[in-house]
Amino acid sequence: MERLCGPKLPFWELNSTFHTDQPDLPLCFQLSVLAWLPCVYLWVVSPVYLFYLKRNNKGYIMVSILNRVKTVFGLFLWIVCWTDLFYSFHEMQQSQTPPPIFFITPLVLGATMLLATFLIQSERLHGVQSSGVLFIFWFLSVLCAIVPFRSKILKASAESEIPDRLRFTTFYFYFSLVVCELILCCFNESPPLFSSTVTDPNPCPETTAGFLSSMTFWWFTR
């Protein structure tokens, strides 16, 4: 990992992680493991999920306000991630060569946000009202971002001024957007048009229940 993060950013430090009053994970660990974990999940699952969508087409869903907001937020996330990428190129032009991790992670995150946005539209076109795949992805993204969220606050409060203001700002834009995507993912889309999968005039509520409702059996109380 030294090739990715450079000698100034160690991948793991026992002293700063355990033997301290304010434990924190190293920046290299945050930019690699925590940033890549949700991305790896989505890229591994996506081929199988797209094949599943193709084989289980339930009709298409009209473009709704919910779908538009999720799509716009996904594009904003791509812009935010690649802002960090282009800022790294800008630093390189200013004779400040950042470690490769500052190029790789924004590139991977940006590409993953485009993939998530593509899946949002693919699910709509195939009649998926609630997505378990994307819910898990947004949940992992929020979960893995909590550590750098705390870490940046601790670092900013310990110093007189905020170091690396642009990346500090873009991260909190990123965090806010993934939290919004997670919340939006909890709401169901409208039923698909021209669907032949449900012909019962009084169908079981489980068939239209969302992912969280199915996991918690909340649909059973309807």
Tens place of pLDDT per residue across the chain (222 aa): 667 888 778 777 766 666 566 778 888 899 999 999 999 999 999 999 999 999 988 888 899 999 999 999 999 999 999 999 999 999 888 878 889 999 999 999 999 999 999 999 999 999 888 888 999 999 999 999 999 999 988 888 877 777 788 999 999 999 999 999 999 998 888 888 765 555 555 555 555 555 565 555 444 455
Q: Output the pLDDT for position 148.
A: 93
Interatomic CA distance for residues 118 and 116, integer angstroms: 5
pLDDT digits (tens, 9 = 90+) for 107-156: 999 999 999 999 999 999 998 888 889 999 999 999 999 999 999 888 88
Which residues, other chains included, contact 196 with Cβ-Cβ below 8 Å and sequence gap of 6+? 59
Exposure b/e, 159-170, CB count within 10 A at least 16 = b: eeeeeeeebeeb
The confidence score (pLDDT) of residue 195 equals 58
Could you tell me the two tokens for 107? Answer: 């590139």
- Predicted model pTM: 0.86
Do 4 and 104 contact (CB within 8 A), yes or no? yes
Rounded CA-CA distance 101/1 in Å is 9
Instruction: State the residue for tokens 């940006």.
Output: 110
193 backbone dihedrals φ, ψ, rounded to 5°? -85, 150
